[in-house]
Amino acid sequence: MAVRTRPYEAAADAEALLDTRLVAIGTWLFLAAEIFFFAAWWFAFFYLRALNNNQAWKAPGVGPPSKGYGAVVLALALLTAVSYFLGSRQPIRTILFRLLTPVALVFAIATCLFQGYEMWHLGFGLTDGAYPSVFSGMTGSWLLQFALATAWLGSIVTQTGPAGDTVVRRQPAASFAWVLLFLGAVGVVNYILLYLVA
Amino acid sequence: MVTPARVSERRLSIPNNPITGIVLAIPAYFVGIWLGTLFGLNDERNTGVILGYVFATAAFLAGVGFLNYPLERLFGWRVTPITDPDENRGIGRFFRLSLDHKVIGIQYLVTILLMLLFGGIGAMLIRTSLLVPDASITPAGNYLPLIGLHSVMMIFITSAVIVGPFGNYLVPLMIGARRMAFPRLEALSFWVVPPAAVILAAATFWGGFPTGWTGYPPLSEQALQGMDSYIVGFTLIAIALVSSGVNMLATIIGLRAPGMTWTRLPMFVWGIFTTSILGLLAAPVLAAALTMLAMDRSVQTTFFLASNGGSNYLWENLFWFFGHPEVYIFILPAFGIIMEVVPHFARKPLWGYRTGVVGLFGVALLSWFVWQHHLFVSGIAPVLRPFYMLSTELISIPTGIIFLVTLGTLWRARVWFTVPMLFCLGFLFNFLIGGISGVYLSDVPTDVTLHGSYFSMAHFHYTIMGGEIFALMAACYYWLPKMTGKMLSPTIGRVHFWTMFIAFNSTFFPLFLAGLLNMPRRVSTYDPSLVGLNRWVSISAYFLFASMVLFAGNLIYSWFFVAKPAVANPWHARSLEWQVPTPPPARNFDRVPVIVAGPYDYGIPGARPVADLGGMVGATGGG
Amino acid sequence: MGAFHIEEADRPHIVRLLIIWVILSAIGIVGVLQINYPPYDQSIQGQDQASTLKLLTALATPVFIAVVMMVVYSAIYFRRTTRELVDGPPMLGNTPVQIAWVAISAILVLFLAVVGIATLSNENAAQLVGAPGRAIGGGQTGAGTSGEENKEIHVQVIAQQWYFTYRYADYGGVETTHLYLPVNHPVELHVTSLDIIHSFWAYQLGVKADANPGVDNIFHVTPQKTGSFQVRCSELCGLWHGNMVDSEGQVVSQSDFDTWIAQQQKDFETIAKAVPSYAPYYFPLPLVKGS
């Protein structure tokens, strides 16, 4: 376990200079792709709802799960995004930075757990029409992405140590805030469509 | 700049290579199958097969080394910076996860050419089967899996065949960069391709899938386990498209050398740029559609079943919204190659550089607005058809610009007829026919006869094979001397070109007639009056395959049997990738180049060399 | 780059190219106009489609000849003639030429689009004759009410793995496996499927319509010549897709058709008694099409 500071410093310096711009660009490109992904699901929602083939958009008795619960999940997701956004903008190693980033992680884990629970207790079967299909697919894809984002957020938190990557390479950590905000925004749209428009 | 305190040097101690990957993948596959059975659903093990493939791929990627970076971060260990490519120069680096874009390019090249071989063998089996008008050579139960395998394998290949090998290898060299923006992402875009190919081939063990590459439900929901190969394999390719797209775009936007303005960018890079935009945005739509199909097949949702609220048109719209930009993903890099190679061999500037760029962007933009031309006879509301007919006709305008620019470059040139140039000219002929036949298909009245017939087959083979693959051949003959250090034999190359060109046209032109004469696509039996035509086509196809064997022979001959290495700039080209030694040094340039001129400034009095490389000389002393 | 002028060195080439192009195009166009284009003229729609095909080919010929001629000409006249590598003239572009090219291609393409749209709307308009008050491509209709001559016959084409069944809604729901149609009589085909997607392609009639389960895909045709036609499935539908062929479609005279359908109804009598009265007019509900 030798301490090898010099080669790391040199490499980190060089990479940090390039990363600043590249990661920001890459994040926006990735989010553009994600918009198209979710847009495909929103298209499926509106399309199948408009067609209502065989009057089977929703089988009789099928409706959205508890709106209040869905709102809680959404709130947790938004709290994750907002707290991380605020935390990533703080100067490093201040109290707020050290507090907000783990808090965001806690919210993220809670979101995944609550959403997972809801998906296990939907109150309708997946074969009960097109609405259940779209609900489960849209929410499931969102949850999968949010879970991956949570894992990445976890790694960001573990790297907030004094020499951690989150500290040395700030731009990637800051760009990640946009990913969380994006997922939160998608969550809002999904909520409106799945619970309110239905 | 932070001074790190005590730093841990712990590393994961598993050797990371494909063997480890395969060793991990096999048990992971069975774990997936077993997990699928736990759900206890009324499917034919579809959940299990899908999970099996997904887990196997994840385990393979972990074995190759992709989990190292996330796990290092998660456990709070020191994150390994991007390794200096000067370390690790042995042949082994081609068989492991490498973050050097040149290595990834070569890995892509070999993998895709091997896949091309398999796809081509599939084509030969298909044409053999079509020697007789009935199913006596290939029973119907074998024919469908065969065309499924051939078509989807070719789709996987053609999505990546130019961007993968040549995009990855050349883009940093052409823009004056030392690496790509996201080397790990770039490596990922490669390493999902072998699993995708293996998973696709694995469909054969399940009896294949019956839908061809379009995967239309409800047939794709009726299908057995082979269909799951299609779903997972295609999803992996979608991931490759998105990763590659992010990487290429970020690299071209962010890593251009000083002086490499947008107007000095080589046309090849513009081709990669536009294609990456399409790949980045279209592939997620495919991923969503495949997810829906997977859910329908495994957890019994009803996205595509009209009887229960779904609609087969949902698939058709989502698939073709991806599928049409997908075919432009095939051809835009090819346009880039043609507009790149022709000026260097015409010894003239590219005629209408900005117009050419506008043409590429025009094609890319319009490609989003035409997809319903695949649905003209499928029962869409008739009011939609005129709009999509118009938009599809309009896309021939920017496509024509490519011809304008190329023909203008040839005008009063001093054309040097090297093998790459021959392939460019072959491209122009083939794509002309392919493009014109597209206009026939875009016209709704004529599409009524031509849709779903051999005419549309001939159209897309002319554009994809006659277009993209010919451009691929041009790229191979042109750039392999830089990538491998060996020239391909021009004599064999000329025989290859003429055999391929003549055999290609002899194979596919009659198929336009077959379509006009009432032969649908994807059939193993056909009207006996068309036997003569089909036999002519099949024999020509054998010659076409032979020409590709010749190409393979040329590759092997030059790589393994020719001692004399290529000079650094055998074509005396001006563009930046030819100004570095062969093979390029590990970090591409000794120091960051400063670009002072465009790459096509031939014949301009007093034109400066394209870049100031700080005294770097070609290692083998070439021009 | 403003005024359009032709350089001295370009002139001989342009003249040569124009002459070659005009001659070859003339020969080419005359040649392609001689061909008898599918789907020939057994139906009105087919004839329209064949004329469109002819027009397209006639327009494509000079375009094709022009580009190929340019490539071949360049290969002959613009090849490298010196042993050492010499650069060509530094021509960066010519704005008027570029504009002209784009404009000409745009005009050609828009012309084709207009012709295509006109043909489409002609076909649709033709169907309104004899079926007043109906929207294009939609609406369930009852038949056999008004006493109009040449009112449309409604035939439902039911595809399944791996054959087609034809159901004559106006004649009591008679079902047959071969399609007989009377000449000079507009037919409204309602194409649907029982299982997966197929496509009903009646080659000589110029009809192609996808058969989707639960969807009523309407296509109009008016046969104008007697004779046989072939029906093939043109959407991959599984194992026997290639064998999903019906070679016994017939367009017959009105009297032959009346005789034939009367015989069919007689054979169908016992079944007709057993099915509900609304069954002959069943079209998949709701009447959904894509988009």
CB pairs under 8 A between A and B: 182
Rounded-to-integer distance, Cα B456 and Cα C33, Å: 22
Asked if residue B53 has pLDDT above 70, the reply is yes
Rounded-to-integer distance, Cα B201 and Cα B205, Å: 8
Same domain, yes or no: B168 and B40: no
Give the range of the structural domain holding residue A160, as residue numbers without chain letter: 5-197
Asked if residue C286 has pLDDT above 60, the reply is no
Asked if residue C202 has pLDDT above 90, the reply is yes
Asked if residue C124 has pLDDT above 70, the reply is no
Nearest CA in chain C to A54: C286
Asked if residue B41 has pLDDT above 80, the reply is no
Find all residues with CB under 8 Å of C83, minimum gap 6, and list them. none
Q: What pLDDT is stored for residue C164 in this prediction?
A: 94
Same domain, yes or no: B52 and B182: no
Q: What pLDDT is stored for residue B608 in this prediction?
A: 86
Specify the higher pLDDT residue, B457 or B67: B457
Residue C4 pLDDT level (bands cut at 50, 70, 90): low
Last residue of a domain, one of B504, B528, B561: B561
B143/chain C closest Cα distance in angstroms: 8
Q: Which residues of B touch C98 (CB under 8 A)?
A: 352, 355, 404
Last residue of a domain, one of B33, B52, B81: B81
Rounded-to-integer distance, Cα C266 and Cα A4, Å: 97
Q: What is the mean pLDDT of residues A31-37?
A: 97
Q: Which residues of C touch B410 (CB under 8 A)?
A: 70-71, 74, 78
Same domain, yes or no: B41 and B94: no
C1/chain B closest Cα distance in angstroms: 12
- Count of residues for chain B? 623
Q: What pLDDT is stored for residue A3 in this prediction?
A: 33
Rounded-to-integer distance, Cα B335 and Cα B344, Å: 15
Give the range of the structural domain holding residue B42, as residue numbers without chain letter: 18-81
Same domain, yes or no: B70 and B150: no
The burial class, CB within 10 Å (0-12 / 13-18 / 19+), for A7 is: exposed
Q: Which residues of B touch C137 (CB under 8 A)?
A: 381-382
Q: Which residues of B touch C238 (CB under 8 A)?
A: 144, 210, 219, 222
Residue B337 pLDDT level (bands cut at 50, 70, 90): very high
In a domain, B1, yes or no: no
A43/chain C closest Cα distance in angstroms: 11
Same domain, yes or no: B339 and B288: yes
Residue B13 pLDDT level (bands cut at 50, 70, 90): low
pTM of the predicted model as reported, rounded to 2 decimal places: 0.93
Contact A43 B311 (CB under 8 A): no
In a domain, B612, yes or no: no
Last residue of a domain, one of B517, B539, B561: B561
Contact B412 C78 (CB under 8 A): yes
Q: What pLDDT is stored for residue A172 in this prediction?
A: 79
- Residues within 8 A of B (CB atoms), C 198-217 only: 199, 201, 203, 206-210, 212-215, 217
Same domain, yes or no: B441 and B527: yes
Domain count, chain A: 1
Task: Convert B72-90 to b/e letters by CB count within 10 Å (16 or more is b).
Answer: bbbebbbbebeeebeeeee
Q: Would you tell me the crossing angle of helices B470-484 and B168-175 to the nearest 10 degrees?
A: 70
Rounded-to-integer distance, Cα C201 and Cα B518, Å: 9
Name the residue among B70, B181, B310 with its Cβ closest to that of A133.
B310
Same domain, yes or no: B298 and B386: yes
Q: Which residues of A touch B254 (CB under 8 A)?
A: 18, 21-22, 25
Asked if residue B413 has pLDDT above 60, the reply is yes
Q: Which residues of B touch C94 (CB under 8 A)?
A: 351-352, 408
In a domain, B33, yes or no: yes
The β-bridge partners of B278 are none
- On the CB side of C280, how many CA atoms lie within 13 Å of its CA? 23
Nearest CA in chain A to B78: A164
Asked if residue C274 has pLDDT above 80, the reply is no
Write the CATH number for B212. 1.20.210.10
The burial class, CB within 10 Å (0-12 / 13-18 / 19+), for A119 is: middle
Same domain, yes or no: B384 and B506: yes
A153/chain B closest Cα distance in angstroms: 9
Chains that touch A (3 or more CB pairs under 8 A): B, C
pLDDT digits (tens, 9 = 90+) for C128-186: 433 333 333 333 333 333 334 468 899 999 999 889 999 998 888 888 999 999 999 89
C33/chain B closest Cα distance in angstroms: 16
Specify the higher pLDDT residue, B192 or C121: B192
Asked if residue C258 has pLDDT above 50, the reply is yes
Same domain, yes or no: B54 and B94: no
Does B444 touch chain C if contact means CB atoms closer than 8 Å? yes
Using alpha carbons, select from B207, B235, B234 the residue that is nearest to residue B45: B207
C-beta separation of A77 from A146 below 8 A:
yes
Does C214 touch chain A if contact means CB atoms closer than 8 Å? yes
Nearest CA in chain A to B291: A137
Q: What pLDDT is stored for residue B592 in this prediction?
A: 84
Domain count, chain B: 2
Asked if residue B6 has pLDDT above 70, the reply is no
Q: What pLDDT is stored for residue C145 in this prediction?
A: 37
A71/chain B closest Cα distance in angstroms: 25
Q: Where are the domains of chain C?
A: 8-78+99-128, 153-281
Write the CATH number for A135. 1.20.120.80
Q: Would you tell me the crossing angle of helices A130-158 and B267-298 to the nearest 10 degrees?
A: 120
pLDDT digits (tens, 9 = 90+) for B206-265: 999 999 999 999 999 989 899 999 999 999 999 999 999 999 999 999 999 999 999 999
Q: What pLDDT is stored for residue A95 in this prediction?
A: 84
Q: Which residues of C touch B451 (CB under 8 A)?
A: 208, 234
Does C63 touch chain A if contact means CB atoms closer than 8 Å? no
Rounded-to-integer distance, Cα B158 and Cα B279, Å: 12
pLDDT digits (tens, 9 = 90+) for B491-530: 999 999 999 999 999 999 999 999 999 999 999 999 999 9
pLDDT digits (tens, 9 = 90+) for B110-159: 999 999 999 999 999 999 999 999 888 998 889 999 999 999 999 999 99
Nearest CA in chain B to C59: B436
Same domain, yes or no: B62 and B208: no
Name the residue among B7, B74, B300 with its Cβ closest to that of A4.
B7
Q: Which residues of A touch C286 (CB under 8 A)?
A: 52-55
pLDDT digits (tens, 9 = 90+) for A88-127: 888 777 888 888 999 999 999 999 999 999 998 888 888 8
Regarding beta strands C227-233 and C198-202, do their DSSP bridges make them parallel or antiparallel, or are they unpaired? Answer: antiparallel
Nearest CA in chain C to B372: C291
Does B249 touch chain A if contact means CB atoms closer than 8 Å? yes
Q: What is the mean pLDDT of residues A46-56?
A: 92
Does B443 touch chain C if contact means CB atoms closer than 8 Å? yes
C48/chain A closest Cα distance in angstroms: 33
Q: Which residues of C touch A53 (CB under 8 A)?
A: 214, 286, 288
Residue B613 pLDDT level (bands cut at 50, 70, 90): confident
C-beta separation of B313 from C52 below 8 A:
no
Q: What pLDDT is stored for residue C122 in this prediction?
A: 75
Find all residues with CB under 8 Å of B556, minimum gap 6, and list them. none
Chains that touch B (3 or more CB pairs under 8 A): A, C
* Out of B337-351, C105-119, C266-280, least confident range: C266-280
Q: What pLDDT is stored for residue B560 in this prediction?
A: 87
Residue B105 pLDDT level (bands cut at 50, 70, 90): very high
Q: What pLDDT is stored for residue C128 in this prediction?
A: 44
- Residues within 8 A of B (CB atoms), A 109-138 only: 126-127, 129-134, 136-137
C-beta separation of C195 from C239 below 8 A:
no
A144/chain B closest Cα distance in angstroms: 12
Residue B45 pLDDT level (bands cut at 50, 70, 90): confident
In a domain, B615, yes or no: no
Q: What is the mean pLDDT of residues C201-218?
A: 92
Same domain, yes or no: B177 and B47: no
Does B615 touch chain C if contact means CB atoms closer than 8 Å? no
Question: CATH for C153-281?
Answer: 2.60.40.420
Does B315 touch chain C if contact means CB atoms closer than 8 Å? no
Q: What pLDDT is stored for residue B395 in this prediction?
A: 95
Q: What is the mean pLDDT of residues A37-62?
A: 93
Q: What pLDDT is stored for residue B586 in this prediction?
A: 83
Q: Which residues of A touch B7 (CB under 8 A)?
A: 3-5, 8, 163
The β-bridge partners of B336 are none
Taking all residues of chain B, what is their mean pLDDT, rounded to a whole number?
Answer: 91
Q: What pLDDT is stored for residue C174 in this prediction?
A: 87
Taking all residues of chain A, what is their mean pLDDT, rounded to a whole number?
Answer: 87
Rounded-to-integer distance, Cα C216 and Cα C288, Å: 7
Does B124 touch chain C if contact means CB atoms closer than 8 Å? no
Residue B5 pLDDT level (bands cut at 50, 70, 90): very low
Q: What pLDDT is stored for residue B88 in this prediction?
A: 61
Same domain, yes or no: B282 and B431: yes
Residue A168 pLDDT level (bands cut at 50, 70, 90): low
Asked if residue C3 has pLDDT above 80, the reply is no
Q: What is the mean pLDDT of residues B266-274?
A: 97
Name the residue among C48, C199, C234 with its Cβ closest to that of B445.
C48
Name the residue among A5, A47, A53 with its Cβ closest to that of B7.
A5
